[in-house]
Amino acid sequence: MQTITSISRHLIQLLRNQQFVKAYEDLFSEDAESIDPINPRPEPLKGLSRLIEVEKLFLSKVEIYNIEISEAIHAENYFTIRFFIAFLIDGKKRNIDELCVYKVSQGKIISQQFFVS
């Protein structure tokens, strides 16, 4: 079983290489959930297939031109990273600067929550 440190390192490596879908496939539980204030729906997204579907939809609409991922900070079953992304969507520049908090159980990420500035 992977440790929280190996999971966070693997996630950071995949994110820095813009392998967002692979991150979900490799590291997330089948019943993972996501709480994202940018999501137009107030309830968390649930289920790995749904998380991948939403990620693919986002990626199909944007052109990423800068990404910065911090090292992780760990606390028991949680870790957090700073995630900065600059992209074009509909010809307009946008930035998202957020803290991402992940919960790990049984060697998989079971939840993620984003705090956006």
Give tens-digit pLDDT for 46-65: 999 999 999 999 999 999 99
Decide if 81 contacts 72 (C-beta within 8 A): yes
23, pLDDT greater than 90: yes
39, pLDDT greater than 80: no
Helix (H) or strand (E) holding 84: strand 78-89
Tens digit of each residue's pLDDT (9 = 90 or more) over 72-109: 999 999 999 999 999 999 999 999 999 999 999 999 99
Report the 10 Å Cβ neighbour count for 100. Answer: 21
The boundaries of the domain holding residue 32 are: 4-116
Nearest to 33 by CA among 46, 16, 42: 46
Q: Show the tokens assigned to 90.
A: 């509909």
pTM (two decimals): 0.94
CATH number at residue 34: 3.10.450.50
